[in-house]
Amino acid sequence: MAPNTIILYHNPRCSKSRAALALLQVRDIKTKVIPYLTEPLSREQIQTLIRQLGITSARAMMRTNEPEYQTLDLAHADEEKLIGAW
């Protein structure tokens, strides 16, 4: 990957993700788009992202209002289950 390339973990169904991609394109910023719904991240990639973002839980990266979150009963899940749900 070229230096100064932004990685965008993209969900085309998400308006904020689409807006972020559009903004990067308009500003002609080098971007590597990873469609994480069709190219799931590995456990190691998720753990790396958690560290890089300085957050304490994968839950902070989850869309907790999505039906899948409810269906998988993730509201009280431990970190291992949260990461496995990706």
Catalytic residue positions?
14
- Give the closest residue to 46 by CA, choosing from 24, 61, 64, 28: 61
Amino acid identity of residue 25, one-letter, is Q
Rounded to whole angstroms, the Cα distance separating 50 from 75 reads 18
